Structure 1
Amino acid sequence: MSIRYPKQCFTSEDQVLEEAADIIATRFVRGDAFCNPDHTMQFLSCKLGGFEREVFAVMLLDNQHRLIKFDSLFFGTIDSATVNAREVVKSALSCNAAAVILAHNHPSGDPEPSNADIRLTRTLCDALALIEVRVLDHIVVGKSCVSFAQRGLI
């Protein structure tokens, strides 16, 4: 269950974080579900926290909320990434996902969701609902993490 990125994207610290994320994911792939927001945020911090540009990703989950695949779909600039709902839906369908957790990083370190983040989340929730895929959360990774579900935004 190893998700790899091109080597030029990583420093040695990034490689350590990637390995830590793989260890966390391995624990969940063996049967535990991504139901604990703290574990999910820890996993996503390792996956997305080291990037110097914005990355939008989706965790594709089965009916028991076990990880099928972690998919980094969009890479942006230092302060934005263009996200296309069609590609998110295609990713969910390709894995026969029953649920997803959306995630992206804020390279500035401030995890506070923007108005654009909130609008995008609503758009993606609506698009995924059409194909009966539940959006469990949208987590923004910065120096800490913000969960839309914990804030009542989903």
Structure 2
Amino acid sequence: MKNFIYIFLLLISSCYSQQNNRKYSIGQEIKSEGGFLLDKGKLDTDYGIAFSNSETKIFILFFKIENTKKIIIDILEIDKKELEENKLTEYCYTNNGADTEIIALVKKTDNNAEFYTKIKKAWRANRKIGKFEKIAKRKVKKCDNENNGI
């Protein structure tokens, strides 16, 4: 019986820590996280991106503003280990010019470089479908380096 209780407590502890690692869910309101609004364009609704993290993950929250509340419509999770030699950035460019919907994981380069050009992974915060969608890294030509003072 003692072994059963130990295993039971171990399982509960494991489930609890996994739930704590995932801080957000779809439909939840964002209270206070750093981020930015996407260019409204021809849309009549505001959308935005917020960033948060846990001990092991970075959460990119795609939200829609409804009745002054920021409601999460999709979540992209990135393991913090991927950021050891890379960096998450926004304000990227394709052949069609600047695209505010793109978030990219780029190879860290010299902070004096004007742009990041070594794209590792890229996603689009697609407002039409309300989801992050993976896009081919070759479609992203460069991303602004905010450390350069652009």
> Could you state the TM-score of these two structures normalised by the residue count of structure 1?
0.31
The higher-RCO structure (CA 8 Å, 6+ apart) is 1
**Bigger share in helix:** 1
